[in-house]
Structure 1
Amino acid sequence: MTEITAGATRLEQFGVGVLRWRWPIIALTILFVVFMAAGGQNLKISNDSRIFFSEDNPQLIAFEALEATYTEANTVLIAVAPKEESGATSIFTADALGAIAELTERGWLLPYSTRVDSLTNFSHTWADGDELIVEDLVPETGEFSAQDLARVEDIAMSEIQLVNRLVAADGGTTAVLVNFVLPDESAEAVTEISDEVKVIVAEARLAHPELNYYVTGSVITSRAFGDATMDDLATLGPIIIGVILVVMAVLLRSITGTIATLLVVLFAAITAMGFAGWSGMILSSGNVGAPTIIMTVAIAHSVHVISTIMLGMRGGLAKREAILESLRVNFHPVFLTTITTAIGFLSMNFSDAPPFHNLGNLVALGVVSAFVFALTFVPALVYILPLRVRPRREGQSVFFDGFGAFVVRRRTPLLWGMAAIIIGLAAGIPQVELNDNWTKYFDERYEFRRDTDYIINNLTGVEAFEFSLPAGSEGAINDPEYIARVDQFAEWYRSQPKIIHVSAFPDIMKRLNKNMHGDDPAYYRIPEEHDLAAQYLLLYELSLPFGRDLNDQIDVGKSATRMTVVGRDMSAQEQRASADAANQWLKDNMPAEMATEATGLTMMFAYISKRNIEGMLKGTVIAMAIISLILIIALKSIPIGLLSLMPNFVPAAMSFGLWGYMIGNVGVAASVVTAVTFGIVVDDTIHFLSKYLRARRERKLDPQQAVRFAFSSVGHALWTTTAVLAAGFIVLSTSGFEVNWSLGLLTAMTIVIALAADFLFLPPLLMKLDRSKS
């Protein structure tokens, strides 16, 4: 077989050059990092919840078209409920209604607000002879008799447009809903609005201490995305630096080695994030984990270089010769691991979520930077700093000598035992369910999550399906036949599981028809004539106060109406199923022009995993194919190259299966884990096989002896890098943002499983199949 380190003379010359020019290398490295760090001042952070969707995302396009036809869906919902200690169980009290009226008035004063809806200002209609009266449900008198309260409660609890939307079905919670039109620079507007909402809620708590307040809505959701980004930036970086220091100090037991490694990972992270700033890249909650991932992944390069230097010095080499030998034996493996890791992360560009593109590109840049620093800056720095090498310790290489002997001795039961474990864990994959719920992207450390959970459980749902139902021509929404069709669709949806509220145009028309017939309940039905319906609608619109028109439900040409369906506690799979069923119902029962599909923020997130997995499936296949080809070429052995793929394919399958058994639900992060981890876990295989093939080719050892040599040479380094990688991704899993914590935990699981595969599955496989020189 051809030697894997062909071209070693050039590598020796490279090493000699690094040591000769050590001071310029150190100085230029520091200057470069300082320049890149200056780009950090240009970093921009987005709090837009829609940043996870590309410009050509069909759900986003449909939602923006709906907003352009009607009104934008930028909302803040402030829910109000009596405290348990107050003794009240209903919001139909003088104090509660007074508090709601005050919040309603304050809502109009919020920046960029265009509409405020609440129980108190609900447009109640009734007839006075032939005259239609439109007035606020709760008059602005400030005083309420028992009779007034009973009247308000009776009307509100029988109003289909209020119950399970602005008033809970049990009357225990109500809400004020504020709509906004945001400027183009919406990030600042979101912060301004949410800060002002906090002020008015705090004042309301002081004025009405007997009430509890809960805040949610799309504007508050966007603020939560921004808060999650800032929280992760502020907390994850320092934690991972601390983890690196502790783990490296314990495992390397070298101050110089620890300092060199820490500087490399910091330099790599600064380089990538500086590039993000200089290039105008936008940070968001979906890619804010880039520095943590870079610092975690970049460790391996330095660990292999420094570990080999220390191993050589323990073997009697002088520091200079040990550095040169380390560069010679590690250049190709470290170069290969850099390429494979970068390819894995670059495959994230196939994702449908733009933040993942930036995440993949930044980490790939950080990994390449770490490669350059590890093979230039680290040798130069180690050469000028004192490097104290302790005698070989029991429990380090000695342990791996014994472990290698154990694997050789028990190779057959290990091979079949690991095969059984792989099959058993992979069988759990069908238990994994794709379930992206944007309200659960944040854990309970966020007030937004706690408040939203309360509102879901006690007032209304937050899963909204939006339909724009065309009538065919201008003014056609007044056609009784069209109204009847929409009403039929609304009633069908009301009968579906987990649907708690439907807001539809026919509800208004049936109420107006009843009003114009002396409030006779028998006339709560659709007007019988087009002209009559048009007259009722015109009269109603002319009677509505400023800011409470029907533009949120009717388009300008009166050629289409908006129907909003609200679900409660639905999984993404249930949301997709509900939308598909509705679309099929429309196709089966309505004219072709009315067969529109559901849209809205809910539908965008319901399909985010599905669309990302479809994109990443292509990216993963391409990444795996390129990495596999690189391994075969680099190892200069088709059989060994193909054989090396087995322990790299199975870890992701095993971790997903284990996830299926333990947790079940997984979100958008799952779409990128396989490609990302494949590029990472192949690193261990490359280093193990490089040492194995060196033993077979240079030392002419048989497979059993070569396995023991590989364990003795690289076992401790692989254990060290795996420990640090797993620790780093576990740090990412402490994020309060679900996309980051699930990515961190899944990746950590895969990395640990990969080490088990490389230690317990790959060697027995090699010894069984590689018998050419036994």
Structure 2
Amino acid sequence: MGGIVRFSVDHPAIVIALFALIAVALGLLVPKLKFDPSVESMFPEDHPLIKRMDEVEELFGSTESVIVLVKADDIFKKRPLEAVEGLTHDLEDLDGIERVTSLFTVYWISGTEEGIDIHPLVEEVPEDEAKLEELRRVALSDELFVGRIISSDGTTAVISCVPEPGVPDEELYRSVEEIIERYRSAYPDLEFRLTGTSVMKALIGIGMRSDIEKFLPIGIALMLILLYLSFGTVRGVLLPTAAVAFSVTATFGLMALFKQPFTMSCLLIPVSLLAVANDYGIHIVARYYEEAASGGPRREVVYRAAREIGVPITLAGLTTMIGFSSLLSHPMPPSRVAGLFICVGVALAFIFSITFIPASLSLMRLPEVGPAGGRWKWLSRVMGGLGSFSAAHSRLVLLGTVALALAAMSGIPKVRVDTNPVNYFKPEAEIVKATRLANERLAGSVGMSIVVSGDIKSPDTLKRIREVQEQVESLPQVGSTLSIVDYLLRLNKAMHADNPRYYRIPESRDLIAQYLLLYSVSASPEELDRLVDYDYKNAQILVTLKTNSSAEIADVVERIRSYLGGRFGSGDLTMEVSGFAVLFKELMSIIVKAQIRSLIISAFLILLVTSLTFRSLVGGLICAMPFSVALAMVFGMMGYFGVELSIATAMISSVMIGVGVDYTIHFIWRYRSELREGRGMGDALRRTLINTGRAITYNALSVVVGFSVGLVSGFLPIYFFCWLIDTSIVVCYLGALILMPAVLGVLRPKFLFGGVKR
């Protein structure tokens, strides 16, 4: 590395111009970055569940939806019905909407003396109270309507829209929201809420852009303030900040260049780079001021500073990249992409710091005074005090650390996994309120399907479908089921003058075929198209769950699978589960396995690198102590405070290990150097804490501030990730400055001394 630094110091203009050119070239690509907020993006394209969902969509149509909920004291009054009618027609006329289902589009099946009557439930809003009451009676007496298009208490109506294939979610959402805003103004006494899978994806995409727009200016502003407080000079502020700006810009540009979609996991890219990309610059600048105090030609001072700090910052950069690179083994593509490009950003920040920063410093006059004009003298006293306390009470420090870790670990069994996208949003978010309303007043908000393959027109097959529906509906989390059987039951009853005895599946195959043909001709064939294919070889049971809990969703999926496996695992009739609920369950398993795997990989690689660096397995194990305590603290806190393991928080261990070990590495490296210069342990500890301890403090503060930017995120997984990672960084920082002096003082490991007399 000495040759690279020497070239940068001797040819600063070339280095600065090169980085400026790269920054501009990649910066121009950033606007081309594409966003992908879908749940499906979390799986490989060839994953069996994704392939099966695509096949099911080919058979029965899209699973995407835009759902409008209209809430009133009583929907069956003229004014609320007029709002529902107007919204229905406006949404039907909207470009991008394929089909709309509401009180004004569904058909009612009833029996008459002449036979069967299939007609729209309501074509226009009734004018008198008697007709309104009759509409209420009819709508609330039919299970085809209750829970799906009207709540059982008659206070909430549903307008469900199926988007046309390929319509951009955000564009459609904004168009629907514009229509709804008009109705909110016209009907202030009514409540309008918007949900559905397409709405969810649109809001996630909008939220991701909003987060990025907030993260960067807030992060840069906080960093400038912190660096000024740390160094008190223009160079001390701007040079580490330039490393961050360059790494973020170049990383986003490279993502756009290689056409990598930006997912929610990728929100951790700017947050992580804001936190760690200035690490190397801070240490170089801090060492530069230390060397400047010794005097000499400015280029030699810069070279000396970069050379002396080169090994520890190289090791710090390597361990940080190792931590993030463990995500490359993650089974979820978004996490792999996030890990890869954070590694790229860290590498770019490191290269920038060891080339651009020395090149820039070589063009500047040496500072006349140390950084911050002595305003941080109190920090030196604090550092010295910490060392004295830890050395004097080493056994107390060790026992306290073990007790704290054990207490924290008792919370780990309480950790739960969450994969439902609605739980990404804060409780006050409109979509959360809409989902809560759907779960409380309607059939629910999470969909899945049971795909049936066989002779669908067979009375025996239909009876088996009915049997499955009854079993599924007995589960407390299930709000409703719907299949072709529900229509046949009503058709058969209606054909027999609404005699309840005939609310059963016809015994004749021909009669079943006639009923289905009659309904298709008299009503809307699209209603049946989503339940059965053209050849009547495949059908689906639509299941709606009234819970947002991933654990409860997974339990329902598992219980249904178990039930089906015991009865329909083979033979001419098969049934299998599909849909978003199944994806949520699979994600739970993936997240847990990925968490364990990335933790093992990153911990092993960090142990290997630190052991090789210090040429001692004991040295590697000692380096692992602070982040091991931090791991126990973080996962214990997750359990105690009810923070779920999600797509973002599942990445904590990799990030924490890679970033948190840096402080211990810097501490031990400087402490060993002081000892090998012949100083006693007390003096070596004091000098290490006063000099490197101050740089570690600057860096830890910078990392904490960088990750704190994520606390303004609109997404709870990002918020909790940043809150927990900040906690872990503080623990790792205190571990380096308090735990390490105690451990090294008690163990006095041989690798520290290298032959020097103790």
Matches within 5 A, 1:242-641: 242-314=221-293, 319-386=298-365, 387-390=367-370, 392=374, 393-444=376-427, 446-470=429-453, 472=454, 476-545=455-524, 548-590=526-568, 592=570, 596-641=575-620
Superposition RMSD on alpha carbons, in Å? Answer: 2.2
Residue among 662, 665, 679 paired with 2:658? 679
Give yes or no for the alignment of 1:73 onto 2:71: no
Q: String of CA shifts for 1:584-615, please: whole Å, max 9, x gaps.
A: 11223446355544221233133324213323
Alpha-carbon shift at residue 579 of structure 1 (Å): 0.8
5+ residue gaps, structure 1, are 1-9, 83-88
Give the match for residue 753 of structure 2.
Answer: none
- Tell me the distance in 2 between the aligned counterparts of 1:660 and 1:591: 38
- Tell me the distance in 2 between the aligned counterparts of 1:289 and 1:256: 28
Alpha-carbon shift at residue 565 of structure 1 (Å): 1.6
Does the CA contact (< 8 Å) of 2:445 and 2:546 recur in 1?
yes
Give secondary structure in 2 for the equivalent of 1:215: strand
Q: What percentage of residue pairs aligned between the two structures are identical?
A: 25
Residue among 741, 744, 748 paired with 1:763? 741
Give the match for residue 21 of structure 1.
Answer: 11
Alpha-carbon shift at residue 416 of structure 1 (Å): 1.1
Shift of the 339–176 alpha-carbon distance from structure 1 to 2, 3 Å rule, reads: same
Shift of the 597–251 alpha-carbon distance from structure 1 to 2, 3 Å rule, reads: farther
- Tell me the distance in 2 between the aligned counterparts of 1:405 and 1:661: 34
Give the match for residue 714 of structure 1.
Answer: 692
Shift of the 203–331 alpha-carbon distance from structure 1 to 2, 3 Å rule, reads: same
Does the CA contact (< 8 Å) of 2:390 and 2:739 recur in 1?
no
Alpha-carbon shift at residue 365 of structure 1 (Å): 1.0
Shift of the 549–495 alpha-carbon distance from structure 1 to 2, 3 Å rule, reads: closer
Give the match for residue 4 of structure 1.
Answer: none
Does the CA contact (< 8 Å) of 2:477 and 2:556 recur in 1?
no
Larger CA deviation: 36-45 vs 359-368: 36-45
Which residue type is aligned with residue 726 of structure 1? V
Alpha-carbon shift at residue 358 of structure 1 (Å): 2.1
- Tell me the distance in 2 between the aligned counterparts of 1:531 and 1:68: 27
- Tell me the distance in 2 between the aligned counterparts of 1:109 and 1:17: 66
Which residue type is aligned with residue 189 of structure 2? E
Residue among 160, 164, 169 paired with 2:152? 169
5+ residue gaps, structure 2, are 751-756
Does the CA contact (< 8 Å) of 1:228 and 1:285 recur in 2?
no
- Tell me the distance in 1 between the aligned counterparts of 2:749 and 2:98: 77
- Tell me the distance in 2 between the aligned counterparts of 1:327 and 1:519: 89
Shift of the 396–664 alpha-carbon distance from structure 1 to 2, 3 Å rule, reads: closer
Which residue type is aligned with residue 101 of structure 1? E
- Tell me the distance in 2 between the aligned counterparts of 1:205 and 1:654: 47
Residue among 42, 51, 57 paired with 1:61? 51
- Tell me the distance in 2 between the aligned counterparts of 1:348 and 1:675: 7
Which residue type is aligned with residue 109 of structure 1? D
Give secondary structure in 2 for the equivalent of 1:161: coil
Give the match for residue 728 of structure 2.
Answer: 750
Alpha-carbon shift at residue 182 of structure 1 (Å): 1.4
- Tell me the distance in 1 between the aligned counterparts of 2:177 and 2:8: 58
Give secondary structure in 2 for the equivalent of 1:468: strand
Shift of the 139–648 alpha-carbon distance from structure 1 to 2, 3 Å rule, reads: closer
How many residue pairs are counted as aligned between the two chains? 747
Which residue type is aligned with residue 396 of structure 1? L
Does the CA contact (< 8 Å) of 2:442 and 2:479 recur in 1?
no
Does the CA contact (< 8 Å) of 2:649 and 2:718 recur in 1?
no
Alpha-carbon shift at residue 382 of structure 1 (Å): 2.1
Which residue type is aligned with residue 116 of structure 2? L
Alpha-carbon shift at residue 315 of structure 1 (Å): 5.2
- Tell me the distance in 1 between the aligned counterparts of 2:143 and 2:741: 68
Q: So what's the TM-score if we normalise by structure 2?
A: 0.94
Shift of the 591–447 alpha-carbon distance from structure 1 to 2, 3 Å rule, reads: closer
Which residue type is aligned with residue 523 of structure 1? Y
Which residue type is aligned with residue 658 of structure 2? G
Give yes or no for the alignment of 1:107 onto 2:107: no
- Tell me the distance in 1 between the aligned counterparts of 2:656 and 2:740: 17
Give yes or no for the alignment of 1:735 onto 2:713: yes
Does the CA contact (< 8 Å) of 2:591 and 2:646 recur in 1?
no
- Tell me the distance in 2 between the aligned counterparts of 1:591 and 1:382: 72
Give secondary structure in 1 for the equivalent of 2:70: strand
- Tell me the distance in 2 between the aligned counterparts of 1:57 and 1:672: 22
Which residue type is aligned with residue 151 of structure 2? A
Larger CA deviation: 59-68 vs 613-622: 613-622
- Tell me the distance in 2 between the aligned counterparts of 1:491 and 1:358: 44
Shift of the 139–18 alpha-carbon distance from structure 1 to 2, 3 Å rule, reads: closer
Does the CA contact (< 8 Å) of 1:415 and 1:760 recur in 2?
no
Give secondary structure in 1 for the equivalent of 2:98: strand
- Tell me the distance in 1 between the aligned counterparts of 2:599 and 2:122: 59
Q: String of CA shifts for 1:282-329, please: whole Å, max 9, x gaps.
A: 223331342232122111101111111112334566654442332122
Which residue type is aligned with residue 250 of structure 1? L
Does the CA contact (< 8 Å) of 1:307 and 1:717 recur in 2?
yes
- Tell me the distance in 2 between the aligned counterparts of 1:410 and 1:490: 67
- Tell me the distance in 2 between the aligned counterparts of 1:389 and 1:464: 66
Larger CA deviation: 442-451 vs 128-137: 442-451
Does the CA contact (< 8 Å) of 1:703 and 1:770 recur in 2?
no
Q: String of CA shifts for 1:356-405, please: whole Å, max 9, x gaps.
A: 22221221111111111111111221232343534655212233122212
Does the CA contact (< 8 Å) of 1:225 and 1:284 recur in 2?
no
Give the match for residue 112 of structure 2.
Answer: 128
Does the CA contact (< 8 Å) of 2:568 and 2:575 recur in 1?
no
Larger CA deviation: 48-57 vs 362-371: 48-57
Q: String of CA shifts for 1:343-365, please: whole Å, max 9, x gaps.
A: 22122222233222222122111
Which residue type is aligned with residue 118 of structure 2? V
Alpha-carbon shift at residue 148 of structure 1 (Å): 1.5
Alpha-carbon shift at residue 267 of structure 1 (Å): 1.1
Does the CA contact (< 8 Å) of 2:4 and 2:355 recur in 1?
no
- Tell me the distance in 2 between the aligned counterparts of 1:426 and 1:529: 64
Give secondary structure in 2 for the equivalent of 1:90: coil
Alpha-carbon shift at residue 672 of structure 1 (Å): 1.6
Does the CA contact (< 8 Å) of 1:350 and 1:619 recur in 2?
yes
